[in-house]
Structures are given as structure tokens and as C-alpha cells.
Amino acid sequence: MSVHVVRAGDPALRSRALEQLVDELLGADDRSLALEDFAVPARGDADNSAEGRSAVVAQIVNAASSPPFMTERRVVVLRNPDDLTADDAAPLVRYLENPLDTTALVLVPEGGRITTALGKALDAAGAQSFGAGSERTEDVLQDQLRAADLHLRPDARRAITERLGEDAGRVAAIVDVLASSYGPGATLDVDEIEPYLGEAGSVPVYALANAIDAGDVPGALETLHRLLTVTSPRQPKPLHPLQVMGLLHNHYRRLARLDDPDVVDERSAVAALGGKVKPYPARKALEQSRAIGGRGIREAFARLHQADLDLKGVRAIPEDVVMEVLVARLAGLSARSGRRPRPPSARSGGGAPARRSGR
């Protein structure tokens, strides 16, 4: 008997990892005879009742307890076990106490938390975790290109990773299409891959602050648009403008905490930010705080305050326009600073003269 748990955040990567594991477990066995696949009804489904979930658990326990027929082993897959309650999972927990040697049981959580009792039973049964490896888009692209024997020039690689953002699950489909179109061994540039990229993927929330701090107005606006409009497995809903405002408030609040003559290096920056920030982001925040200076930070907060009022209807300006103007002006503020941080030991308060909020 073997027990496996497939874990991956992206559904497409999770599906590919499951397919790979099942292929390994089946070996030469006939899939139609050896494999049984079950799924717990998801929340919101009509069958997601105590009776519906119990019925699925009864089926999987029966399948896992049955000897193989005309094959060496039986592979039993249970998807979405994270929607089982402790009572639902009790028969499965009992099965794991005395499992059948000829069954390979595979559980595939879909992002939720497995009940404590089931988690302990899996640990006691020696369950092995099987994942998709790295889920970074760059790493997934590298793996898929190697498997397909395709080669991309640097600008083509950059175009794919920038377009997909965090949506790494789409990489395999793009590489499959490129391999079908150009054949193995091909070396492609950006013009050849551009027609196959599709819609932009989601981006991590910190990408907006990074683009603003770099003074990259076009990049910041593009990132804002993707945060407000694009969905993906990692970002099932677009962010609301007020959520983006919250992210920006937090970012400039951190810069303000570092606008202190006692914060002189990376270590003191970590301490000023509560000790829960890693050294590299603390150092980057300190550099940005010194670059725009105390007056620049105050100007940023004035812009944020006015935008917050506008989002709440003080002036009849569309939400998307409010956010675009805000982000463009914050990025422009960084650009005017030249991103030339003063030495951390210098006193804050420099930068461009403060300007009154308004458009």
C-alpha cells in the first residue's frame, strides 16, 4: 500500500502533477481496470451535503478496500478531500489504520485544509507529498521548454513571463502550441511567439509598489490595470480599487517609519518595521524612503488622501481614472527623485518641495 498527497497551488500544475504521479503508479497496468477517480462535491454544488459527501467517502473506501482485478495494483484518487468534515472523513481515517497492500491511494487537496484527524491518519500511514516543483512562471517555462526541446531568445522568454505574470499554469499550453507550430529544436524570438501569448495573466500585488518605486509610469499603470481586471487561479477575483489603496497606504506607511535619522542600515530598518521583514525588502524600502525623502512621503500621503476621498464620491471622477492618476503621480514622484538614495545615515526631509494635493 502507498498513500500520496498531490499539492500545487495552480490547478493546471496540480492536474499535470497528478497525471504524472498516476502514470508512475500505474506502470504497465491497464488504466481502465486499475484506476478509479472520485471527487468530493465542492462547496456550493448541489451534491455538497452531508449525505453527498458521505456517499463519496463510502465509494472511495470501498474501492480502496477492494483487491485489484486483472492488474497488479489498484490506484484510487480522491479529489477535494479538503471539503470533508471530520465526521465525513471518519471512515477514510479508519481505512488508513489498516489499508490494503495492493491499493495506491492518492489525495488531491484543492487549496483548503484537510481535517486534523485525516491529516494525522495520513502522516501515520506514511503519506508522501508529490508536488509540481517550483510554481514560478520562469521555472515552469524552463522545464517545459527543456521537455519540448524548444529554445527561446531572451526577449521571447521575457515576453512570456511578463505576459503570464503569476499564471504559470498557462505555460504548458503555450509551449505545446509553439512545439506543434515550429517543431523540436527550434529557436524562437519575440515576434514568433507573440501571436500565441493570449491575455495578460495576474501579477503579484507587490509588483505595483515595485513599479512605482522604480519611477516606471507605464509599467505601474499596466500593473494597476492587471490587478484591477485580470483573474487567475492565484487571483480568482480582481482587486477592488480600495484594496489597491490599502496596499499603497501600507507601502508608504513603511517608508514613513523608515524616515528616521536613527534608521541607519539594514538591521535598524528591519527593527523599525517590527522585526518581521526580511533584510532585502527592508533595505529596498530604506533606499526608497531616503530617495524620495520626508517631503516626498508627505506628498505621497496627500495624493493617497485625495484619491481615497475621490473613490468615496467626493468628486464625480470614475474609479479607474482616480486610480490611474494616483499611480501615475506616485510613480512620477519616484522618477523625480532619480532613485538616487541618500546615504542611510543622512537626515530625512529632503526631496522635492511638497505640493498641495489636487489634480
DSSP structure string for 186-238? -EE-HHHHGGG--S-----THHHHHHHHTT-HHHHHHHHHHHHH---SS-SSP
Does 17 share its domain with 95? yes
Domain at 90, CATH number: 3.40.50.300
CATH number of domain containing 173: 1.10.8
Residue 353 lies in a domain: no
Average pLDDT, the chain: 83
Query: Under 8 Å CB-to-CB from 266, ≥6 apart: which residues?
Result: 279, 282, 283, 286
Kindly state whether residue 46 falls inside one of the protein's structural domains: yes
User: Is residue 258's pLDDT more than 70?
Assistant: yes
Same domain, 148 and 211: no
- Would 245 be classed as within a structural domain? yes
**pLDDT band at 348; cut points 50, 70, 90:** very low
pLDDT given at position 234: 62
Decide if 166 contacts 227 (C-beta within 8 A).
Answer: no
Q: What separation, in Å, do the N-terminal and C-terminal C-alpha atoms of the chain show? A: 68
252: Cα separation from own chain's centroid: 23
- Shared domain check, 180 and 77: no
The residues, ordered by sequence, that sit 6+ positions from 174 with a Cβ below 8 Å of its Cβ are: 160, 164, 193, 196, 197, 198
Torsion on CA atoms 58, 61, 65, 70, rounded to nearest 10: 90
CATH of the domain at 247: 1.20.272.10
* 278 shares its domain with 303: yes
Residue % of the chain over a pLDDT of 70: 89
Which residues contact residue 55 at a Cβ distance below 8 angstroms, ignoring those fewer than 6 apart?
none
How far, in whole angstroms, is CA 93 from its chain's centroid?
Answer: 31
The stretch 181-198 carries a mean pLDDT of 84
- Please compute the mean of the pLDDT values over residues 96-112 and round it to a whole number: 88
C-alpha 322/C-alpha 116 separation (Å) is 46
Are residues 270 and 231 located together in one domain of the fold? yes
Of 82, 87, 79, 45, give the one whose Cα is nearest residue 60.
79
* Global confidence as pTM: 0.51
Q: Nearest-CA neighbor of 63 among 81, 80, 76?
A: 76
Q: Are 309 and 237 in the same domain?
A: yes
**How many domains would you assign to the chain?**
3
Residue written as grid cell 500511514: 125
Backbone angles phi, psi at 85, to 5 degrees: -80, 170
Domain boundary among 78, 102, 131: 131
Asked if 9 and 233 touch (Cβ cutoff 8 Å), the reply is: yes
**Are 123 and 7 members of one domain?**
yes
Domain extent, residue 11, equals 2-131
Each residue's pLDDT tens digit, 137-185: 888 888 889 888 999 999 999 888 888 877 777 888 888 888 878 888 8
Pair 210, 301 in one domain: yes
Q: Is residue 138 within 8 Å of 162, Cβ to Cβ?
A: no
Grid coordinates standing for 244? 489597491
Interatomic CA distance for residues 171 and 141, integer angstroms: 6
Same domain for 274 and 188, yes or no, is no
For residues 165 and 43, the answer to whether their CB atoms sit within 8 Å is no
Cβ atoms of 196 and 189 within 8 Å: the answer is no
User: Does residue 116 sit within a domain?
Assistant: yes
Residue 357 lies in a domain: no
Task: Supply angle C-alpha 270, 272, 278, rounded to 5.
Answer: 20
Is the predicted pLDDT of residue 353 greater than 60, yes or no?
Answer: no
94 and 157 belong to one structural domain: no
* Dihedral sign for Cα atoms in the order 231, 234, 236, 241: negative
Regarding whether 262 and 240 lie in a shared domain, the answer is yes
Same domain, 148 and 78: no
Average pLDDT (223-236) is: 77
* 76 vs 231: CA distance, rounded Å: 32
In a domain, 242, yes or no: yes
Residue 111 domain-assigned (yes or no): yes
Alpha-carbon distance 331 to 292, whole Å? 11
Q: What does the pLDDT look like over 31-90, one tens digit per residue?
A: 889 999 998 887 767 667 878 888 899 999 999 999 988 888 899 999 989 888 899 999
Per the listing, cell 520626508 goes with: 294
pLDDT of res. 169: 77
Check residue 358 and give its pLDDT: 37
Q: Point out the domain boundary residue: 131, 146, 171.
A: 131
SS3 306: helix
End position of a domain, from candidates 82, 104, 131: 131
105 found inside a domain: yes
